[in-house]
Amino acid sequence: MYRSGKGLRKTVFFLVFLVSVLLVSGSSHAADRSFWRSRGKNIQSTSGTKSPLKKTTQTQIDPLEIEIPEQYGAIIETHRGSNGKLIIHIQDAHSNYEGQINAAGILESLIENYDLNLILKESKITDRDFKYLRDRASLDERREIADGLLRDGYITGVNYLDLASDYPVKIQGIEDKGLYDENRNALWEIDRFKDLAAGYVDKLIVLSGALKPHIYNQDLLALDGEKKAYDAERTDLVTYYKYLYEKAEEKDIPMYLFPNFSILIKAEGLEKVIDLTKIHEGKASDEELRLYDEYMGLTKDLDINGLFKEEPMLQEALEAAMATNPDQERLIRISKALSIMNNLLAIKVVPEEYKYFTDNKEDFDPEFWSDFLKEKSKELGFSLSIPDNYYIISDNLPKIERFYRIAAEREEVFLKRTEDHMNKEGVNLAALVAGGFHTPTLTRLLADAGYSYVVVSPRVTTKTDDERYRWALKMNWLKEIEGGAR
């Protein structure tokens, strides 16, 4: 449901990493493969009317055999279940044109290559769609109109595919109207105090930053500096991860707890010494071939999604190892809580941050933040002006929790509606389009119910307009035009 700038950058990293593996493992034609090449099959060039798709039960598909065109996105997680049904969960890059057009491309590839004929959609309640408009304009006219609506944020990639093609794919909503309306109303409640609360949090972030040079030791200051550079995109992901790995080794942190970090660092080191030309020409020595095989084994074992989950855990382990007194520990906790609160208010928190919030409620007490900063400012002889309006957070914290709690409740409905629609349509394959915030719970629910699943992240290299995103979340106009006068 919510995508942050960091999450966006991680998607780019995964896609670039995927391409590097293709380049290393491919044949002599591998050099022609590139994530950045023009789309080989652009959805906007689709023409003609498609033959109706088979309505009979689909052949069971092995999730490990699913492939996604690299120009549109990448598979980040795969699970083989037991009930013979497969869900392709496409993470929705809300209100991001690039992410939406690539999601449409992913869906088209699934329709063409795997006979997908059922798309399940978050933020949608009924099966009403835009097919009634297909006879009212030519395909080219529909593409032009759909592209403009998508760029302006009025429709999604799913709607774009529906309007700008002739595929007979069925699109079904998986929302409960009552829960969805309640979630949207909760967002309106947050918007009433969001700006004032975000201003308060921003001031405390600045003030806590001013205290760090006087409270943190050199190790913590260095770590904090590296993280700021990474968050500001002055440092790339691999460089930052290598820094974390090296510091963890210095502090004797057991790296078996972070297996994907270890795999990444080892694979990155091997990549530097592999001579692809010699391998492709058959001139590599036995040792070089051994290194190549080892590299390919590592890339196969690397769980990208697991790697991203290990990042905050390793950072926390480093902070705990570096902190030498209670003041440092408290300032670490406050800094993390302030950063997560900023994202909670902006509706762009990632699942790992939300879990930290629910597991560490005591760290999100604004009086705890304010009292500590005042105390340390006085002790150090600073004249820092600590704002007293902490109530803007404490009074409204239940509203923030309510919004995210309802968002989580919707996930149970997603699973129930998914089961109902797949049974009704008699299919073993469906695409489920929902935001990445829902992914951890959704995949757990699907696995527990016996489903196989593939999680796909559309290619996104541009930032989302936060204001347009919030506006789109609250829009209710689609029900007035989807399905027309039926």
Residues 218-244 pLDDT 10s? 999 999 999 999 988 898 888 999 999
Residues 72 and 155 reside in one and the same domain: yes
In a 3-state reduction of DSSP, which class is residue 165? coil
pLDDT of residue 194 exceeding 60? yes
Query: Using the 8-state DSSP alphabet, how is residue 51 labeled?
Result: P
Strand partners, 457: 74
pLDDT for the residue 466: 67
Residues 71-88 have a mean pLDDT of 93
Residues 309 and 453 reside in one and the same domain: no
Residues 235 and 304 reside in one and the same domain: yes
Among 318, 333, 368, the domain-final residue is: 318
Considering the domain boundaries, does residue 453 fall inside one? yes
Among 303, 318, 333, the domain-final residue is: 318
Residues 153 and 273 reside in one and the same domain: no
pLDDT for the residue 308: 83
pLDDT of residue 53 exceeding 50? no
Pairing of strands 452-458, 73-79: antiparallel
- What separation in angstroms does the CA of 477 have from each of 121, 406, 474? 16, 22, 9
Residue 431 φ then ψ, to 5°: -100, 135
Residues 174 and 233 reside in one and the same domain: no
Distance (Å, whole) CA 216 – CA 329 = 9
How many structural domains does the chain have?
Answer: 2
Considering the domain boundaries, does residue 257 fall inside one? yes
Residue linked to tokens 């700008």: 164
Residue linked to tokens 């304009």: 137
Crossing angle of helices 237-250 and 304-322, in 10° steps, is: 50
Distance (Å, whole) CA 3 – CA 308 = 14
Residues 10-25 have a mean pLDDT of 49
Residues 175 and 83 reside in one and the same domain: yes
Residues 245 and 139 reside in one and the same domain: no
pLDDT for the residue 128: 83
Among 291, 318, 345, the domain-final residue is: 318
Highest mean pLDDT: which range of 63-77, 208-222, 468-482:
208-222
Q: List strand residue ranges (DSSP E) for 338-472, in order.
A: 429-434, 452-458
**Helical H runs in 26-92?**
none
Kindly report the average pLDDT of the chain as a whole number. 84
Residues 254-274 have a mean pLDDT of 91
Considering the domain boundaries, does residue 216 fall inside one? no
Considering the domain boundaries, does residue 349 fall inside one? no
Considering the domain boundaries, does residue 336 fall inside one? no
Q: 7 falls in which pLDDT band (50, 70, 90)?
A: low
Higher-confidence position of 181 and 5: 181
Residues 61 and 174 reside in one and the same domain: yes
Q: 58 falls in which pLDDT band (50, 70, 90)?
A: low
Considering the domain boundaries, does residue 380 fall inside one? no
Residues 57 and 167 reside in one and the same domain: yes
pLDDT of residue 320 exceeding 50? yes
In a 3-state reduction of DSSP, which class is residue 121? strand
Chain center to CA of 197: 25
Q: What domain range includes position 232?
A: 221-318
pLDDT of residue 80 exceeding 60? yes
Instruction: Give the predicted TM-score (pTM) of the model.
Output: 0.75
pLDDT of residue 459 exceeding 50? yes
Considering the domain boundaries, does residue 156 fall inside one? yes
Residues 188-194 have a mean pLDDT of 93
Q: Is 163 left (phi over 0), alpha (psi -120 to 50) or beta?
A: alpha
pLDDT for the residue 22: 44
Considering the domain boundaries, does residue 140 fall inside one? yes
Residues 142 and 239 reside in one and the same domain: no
pLDDT for the residue 28: 32
8 Å CB contact between 159 and 211? no
Residues 74 and 166 reside in one and the same domain: yes
pLDDT for the residue 231: 85
pLDDT for the residue 334: 97
Residues 257-273 have a mean pLDDT of 91
8 Å CB contact between 434 and 414? yes
* Residues with Cβ within 8 Å of residue 26, at least 6 apart in sequence: 33
Q: What percent of the chain has pLDDT over 70?
A: 83
Residues 157 and 235 reside in one and the same domain: no
Crossing angle of helices 218-231 and 304-322, in 10° steps, is: 150
